[in-house]
Chain A
Amino acid sequence: MDRISLAYGSGGKQTAELVKKIFLKNLYSEELSKLEDSAIIKNKNLKVAFTTDSYVVDPIFFPGGDIGRLCVCGTVNDISVSGAKIEAISLGFIIEEGLDISVLLKIVNSIKKTAKEAGVRIVTGDTKVVEKGKADKIFINTSGIGFFDSELNFSYSNVKKDDIIIINGEVGSHGIAVLNSRNKLGISGDIKSDVAPLNGLIDLIKRIPGIKCIKDVTRGGLITALNEISESCGFGAEIEEEKVPVADSVKSACEMLGIDPFYAANEGKIVVIASKKSAEKILVEMRKHKYGKKSAIIGRFNEDKHVSVKTLIGTVRIAQSMSGEQMPRIC
């Protein structure tokens, strides 16, 4: 680890290494050390969920969304998975000199529309402009704050063996949609990003007893998300390949690119880990929501030390966290 390479920002193994060896080691706090999607801060009677995120997506407009919708959804989802109700968001814009005002306005309108959908207010912000070439069009940093309206203590460390893994729909579309539009891969089929605010969906289920934790499934995909939970709770997990929903168009694009859809990025996906007893009930509720129609039970936690996948032909393979940048095959 001499210099930062792109892999350190990929959300996989190297990002985890960077966070632990550089940030956590030097900036330790109990809240930070949990390494979950948002920090839970307690002060006397007050319990607050707090998060921050930065958005550097390229291109800034992609099929199914744009950097504006993305930054609101990502922040809303990071807060919501903790069980808190999102209250407010801050926005920090870093804009490259020369950006067309109409482009900025389009992004701001998208933010407005998405914030309205999620029922969240933008309460503070900051703007910086840098010289041409010192940033790429626009970067957005956000923070989000949420309050707990019920006694919920979701945490990866609550997860035990036999707990059930539920996902709220088809995986991998965001990563493929962005890759396709950035590199003009000419993949046919209508692949759109799944970017969506999931607070409504989470609100529908979060009070059902038996939920151990909810996790945002973003960079590094499903497998990386499950590995993070597994590492924290000390149990392994097994998912069944045939039960994980993947759109046919995403499946064939992944095949062409040599990418495993279970590692492809999402922006509107969560996994809900719940006790065996309550899983079915949660699933039924999730399917009632527009962002949970294709929800499915995909596997369970077990006594292993690793995450594994039961393949279509019934064999079992170990599934490690994503490593490096996702690279396509060349033959």
Chain B
Amino acid sequence: MKTKNKNLFSPSLWSDKDIAIKISKEIKNKAEMFFKKTGKKPSMMEVCGTHTMAIARSGIRQLIGDYVNLISGPGCPVCVTSQGDIDRIIEFSKFNDVIIATFGDMMKVKGSEGYDLNDIRIKGGDVRIVYSPMDCLELARENRGKNIVFVGVGFETTAPTIAAAVKKAYEDKINNFFVAPLFKLVPPALRFLLDSKISKIDGFILPGHVSVIIGSKAYDFLKEEYKIPSVIAGFEPLDILRAADMILSYLIEGKEVFGVEYERAVKSEGNRVALDIMNEVFKVSDAYWRAIGVIKKSGYSFSDKFEKFDAFKKYGISYREKAEPKGCLCGRILLGLSKPSDCPLFGKKCVPEDAIGPCMVSSEGACAAWYKYGVKK
């Protein structure tokens, strides 16, 4: 069994050229049938930023982009962090006893005053890039006189590792480690998109990694309440093509609406250990999303037991709504209403080296993916 599993996880298995062409032909046929039936090109939203990057990197649009609209959704954690929350993070730099610890992607997202964490560091502020939240505990031990504030940005994939770090700090009685809880949850965002009817989506390509954690049953509402074709997909080229093909089958046949393409990793009930630790450390709360505003019960804050780890509460930093950067289409892009190439700033005034909006900064942002891999339309 072990060898079999290994083979299933081998990337080369999921990027076979001949199979890719075969599935693409299937997709073309089915998309044409869909067009005959409805008079429109089917639109699919990939909800996850890692999918956005994988689609750009593998050039899948060249194979199926003429028949299927592939739309990026609100799945890049840095990008969906609201401007008000970005400003709240930057505000921590004003406290002399704070070391800000963050994943690298957050460094170059500009606050509404026009500067970012990278600028703060250049000017002598103490901002550290960490690769794992556990690194913060070491930082905390080494810097007893300072408070470590970790920027807790991420979806259900990142939240468990941060919860584990918080729990460890609790057990080890580390009292100079704090987290700014800005976590977001995927299912409530999908519900928002469907309820608001702002994006015209015929199907969802659902995130693989998030689903490993939350399990496929977390999307039961898509099937039962909204009946929108949705497939959980892995990140290799064939995974994405297979998912698109499954969605088209659902659209044409109208029998099933939900499937798991990423069967080799996703279980119905998800990852119990991860879910348990998140439930212990966090509680579901409202969250601010860029270009959307508040979505009810779409994020995590700390549970009562772990409340003392909340960096915003510790420093009394409250939320204020801030305007989007001028001329930036990130908000529309996150909702699937615009493509990066629609933005007049894209690739001109807004480039990865000097980005205006977060979608060009994050390694998972739609604009960064399109720019890096030269996607045109």
Give A70 Cβ to nearest chain B Cβ, in Å.
22
Cβ-based interface call for B48 (8 A)? yes
Q: Is the CB of B363 within 8 A of A329?
A: yes
* Proximity string of chain B (218-229) to chain A, C-beta cutoff 8 Å, 1 when within and 0 when not: 000000000000
Contacts of A236-259 to chain B: CB distance below 8 A: 251, 255, 257-258
In whole angstroms, what is the CA distance A133 to B375 when docked? 45
Q: Is the CB of A312 within 8 A of B78?
A: no
Q: Is the CB of B104 within 8 A of A331?
A: no
Q: Is the CB of A317 within 8 A of B209?
A: no
Contacts of A275-324 to chain B: CB distance below 8 A: 306, 308, 311-320, 323-324
In whole angstroms, what is the CA distance A320 to B362 when docked? 16
Residues of B within 8 A of A185 (CB): 131-132
Q: Is the CB of A318 within 8 A of B15?
A: no
| Chain B minimum-CB-distance residue to A257 | B131
Q: How many residues of B contact A (CB 8 A)?
A: 59
Return the contact of B60 from the options A4, A7, A313, A318 (Cβ within 8 A): A313
In whole angstroms, what is the CA distance A184 to B131 when docked? 9
Contacts of A211-257 to chain B: CB distance below 8 A: 251, 255, 257
Cβ-based interface call for A42 (8 A)? no
Return the contact of B59 from the options A183, A251, A313 (Cβ within 8 A): A313
Cβ-based interface call for B155 (8 A)? yes
In whole angstroms, what is the CA distance A311 to B59 when docked? 7
Q: Is the CB of B131 within 8 A of A331?
A: no
Return the contact of B364 from the options A260, A308, A311, A331 (Cβ within 8 A): A331
Q: How many residues of A contact B (CB 8 A)?
A: 35
Binds A, one of B49-57, B271-279, B302-310, B329-337: B49-57
Task: Say yes or no: A183-B135 contact (C-beta < 8 A), given A313-B15, A329-B364.
Answer: yes
Residues of A within 8 A of B155 (CB): 331
Q: Is the CB of A315 within 8 A of B77?
A: no
Give A262 Cβ to nearest chain B Cβ, in Å.
10
Cβ-based interface call for A98 (8 A)? no
In whole angstroms, what is the CA distance A7 to B57 when docked? 23
Q: Is the CB of B374 within 8 A of A330?
A: no
User: Could you name 12 residue pairs across A and B whose Cβ atoms are closer than 8 Å?
Assistant: A183-B130, A184-B135, A311-B57, A313-B63, A313-B237, A313-B241, A314-B17, A320-B372, A325-B104, A327-B105, A330-B77, A330-B105
A interface vs B, CB < 8 Å? Answer: 3-5, 7, 13-14, 17, 183-185, 251, 255, 257-258, 260, 306, 308, 311-320, 323-325, 327-331
19 additional A-B pairs beyond A5-B121, A7-B353, beta carbons within 8 Å, are A5-B118, A17-B353, A183-B135, A308-B374, A313-B60, A315-B59, A315-B61, A317-B58, A317-B59, A317-B373, A323-B352, A327-B105, A328-B131, A328-B363, A329-B49, A329-B363, A330-B106, A330-B158, A331-B158
B interface vs A, CB < 8 Å? Answer: 11-12, 15-17, 20-21, 48-50, 53, 56-63, 75-78, 103-108, 118, 121-123, 129-132, 135, 153-155, 157-158, 209-210, 237-238, 241, 351-353, 362-364, 371-375
* Closest CB pairs A-B (n = 6): A318-B374, A315-B59, A327-B104, A312-B15, A313-B20, A330-B103
